Chain A
Amino acid sequence: MPHTLSPEELYQKYLDLQLRVTRFSSIEQELINTRDQLDHELVMHKRLLEFNAEALKLSSEKDFIHLVAESLIDVCESQIAYVSFINKRNTERFLVLEGVRKKDEPTVIDELEHSMAANSIQKGVEIVHLGEESNGIITSCMYSSIIHINAHMNIVIATAVSKEKAPLYPAIKDRSKILFSLFAQQVESILSNIIIAQQNREQMSTIANAQIELKKLSLIATKAKSGVIISDSMGRIEWVNNSFEQTTGFKLEEVIGKKPKEFLQSDLTSKEDKEKMASALAAKKSVELTVLNKSKSGQHYYNQLVITPVFDEEGNHINFIALQKDITAEENYKKELIQINSRFELITNGANIGMWEWDCVKNITVWNSVLHKFYGIKEEEDLNRNTVWYDSIHPDDKEDMEENMSLLSSGKKHVIEQNYRVIRQRFNNDIRYVKSLSQGIWDEGKKLVRIVGSSIDITEEKEYESRLIDKNTELEKINKELDQFIYSISHDLRSPLLSIKGLLTLIETSVDESESKLYHELIGKSVGRLDNTILEILAYSRNARVDIQRDAFNLKEIVEQLFEDLSFMAAEGEPIIVSDRTRIETLLKNLISNAIKYRKKNATDSLVHVKMKNEGASFMIEVIDNGEGISERNQKKVFDMFYRASSSSQGTGLGLAMCQEIVKKLKGEIKLTSQLGEGTTITLILPNNPLSA
Chain B
Amino acid sequence: MIRFLLIDDDDIISVIHPATIQRAISDSDIEITPSGTEALELIDVLIKNNETPPDFIFLDINMPEISGFEFLDRLTEEEKIFLKDSQIIMLSSSVNHQNIERAKSYPMIRDFVSKPLTVEYIRGLVGNTN
* Contact indicator B64/A645 (Cβ below 8 Å): yes
A492-509 Cβ-contact flags toward B at 8 Å (1 or 0): 001110110111011001
* A495 CB → nearest B CB, Å: 4
Given contacts A501-B116, A502-B20, A647-B63, contact A487 B96 (CB under 8 A): yes
Q: Does A432 contact B (CB under 8 A)?
A: no
> Which size bracket describes the interface of A in this complex?
20 to 34
Inter-chain contacts of B13 with A (CB < 8 A): 495, 499, 502
* Contact indicator A506/B93 (Cβ below 8 Å): no
Inter-chain contacts of B92 with A (CB < 8 A): 491
* Contact indicator B93/A645 (Cβ below 8 Å): no
Inter-chain contacts of A646 with B (CB < 8 A): 64-65
* A482 CB → nearest B CB, Å: 14
* Contact indicator B15/A522 (Cβ below 8 Å): yes
* Contact indicator A525/B116 (Cβ below 8 Å): no
Inter-chain contacts of B17 with A (CB < 8 A): 502
Inter-chain contacts of A297 with B (CB < 8 A): none
Q: Does B9 contact A (CB under 8 A)?
A: yes
B1-37 Cβ-contact flags toward A at 8 Å (1 or 0): 0000000011111011101100100000000001100
* Contact indicator A647/B34 (Cβ below 8 Å): yes
* Contact indicator A502/B16 (Cβ below 8 Å): yes
* Contact indicator A499/B16 (Cβ below 8 Å): yes
A480-491 Cβ-contact flags toward B at 8 Å (1 or 0): 000000010011
Q: Does A644 contact B (CB under 8 A)?
A: yes
Q: Does B114 contact A (CB under 8 A)?
A: yes
Question: Considering only CB atoms, which chain A residue lies closest to B118 in the complex?
Answer: A505
* B60 CB → nearest A CB, Å: 10
A-side binding surface: helix, strand, loop or mixed?
Answer: helix
- How far is A487 from B95 in the complex, measured between Cα atoms in Å? 9
* Contact indicator B64/A491 (Cβ below 8 Å): no
Given contacts A494-B94, A498-B115, contact A647 B65 (CB under 8 A): yes
* B62 CB → nearest A CB, Å: 6
* Contact indicator A490/B116 (Cβ below 8 Å): no
Inter-chain contacts of A515 with B (CB < 8 A): 19
Given contacts A491-B94, A498-B116, A647-B35, contact A503 B12 (CB under 8 A): yes
* Contact indicator A506/B19 (Cβ below 8 Å): yes
- How far is A255 from B62 in the complex, measured between Cα atoms in Å? 112
* Contact indicator B116/A494 (Cβ below 8 Å): no
Inter-chain contacts of B94 with A (CB < 8 A): 487, 490-491, 494
Inter-chain contacts of B63 with A (CB < 8 A): 647
* B98 CB → nearest A CB, Å: 9
- How far is A501 from B93 in the complex, measured between Cα atoms in Å? 12
- How far is A502 from B117 in the complex, measured between Cα atoms in Å? 7
* A628 CB → nearest B CB, Å: 12
* Contact indicator B93/A503 (Cβ below 8 Å): no
Q: Does A650 contact B (CB under 8 A)?
A: yes
* Contact indicator A495/B19 (Cβ below 8 Å): no
* A518 CB → nearest B CB, Å: 7
Question: Considering only CB atoms, which chain B residue lies closest to A515 in the complex?
Answer: B19
* B21 CB → nearest A CB, Å: 11
- How far is A238 from B22 in the complex, measured between Cα atoms in Å? 137
B95-130 Cβ-contact flags toward A at 8 Å (1 or 0): 010000000000000000011111100000000000
Q: Does A689 contact B (CB under 8 A)?
A: no
* A602 CB → nearest B CB, Å: 15
Inter-chain contacts of B62 with A (CB < 8 A): 491
* A506 partner, pick from B9, B11, B16, B96, beta carbons under 8 A: B16
Given contacts A502-B13, A526-B12, A646-B65, contact A495 B35 (CB under 8 A): no
* B115 partner, pick from A502, A522, A650, beta carbons under 8 A: A502
Inter-chain contacts of B116 with A (CB < 8 A): 498-499, 501-502, 505
- How far is A499 from B13 in the complex, measured between Cα atoms in Å? 6
A495-B93, A503-B16, A506-B23 known; 7 new pairs, CB 8 Å cut-off, are: A495-B13, A499-B12, A499-B116, A502-B115, A502-B117, A646-B64, A647-B9
A–B pairs, 16, beta carbons within 8 Å: A491-B62, A491-B93, A498-B115, A499-B13, A502-B16, A502-B17, A502-B20, A502-B115, A503-B12, A505-B116, A505-B119, A509-B23, A515-B19, A522-B16, A644-B64, A645-B64
4 closest Cβ contacts across the A-B interface?
Answer: A502-B116, A644-B64, A502-B16, A647-B35
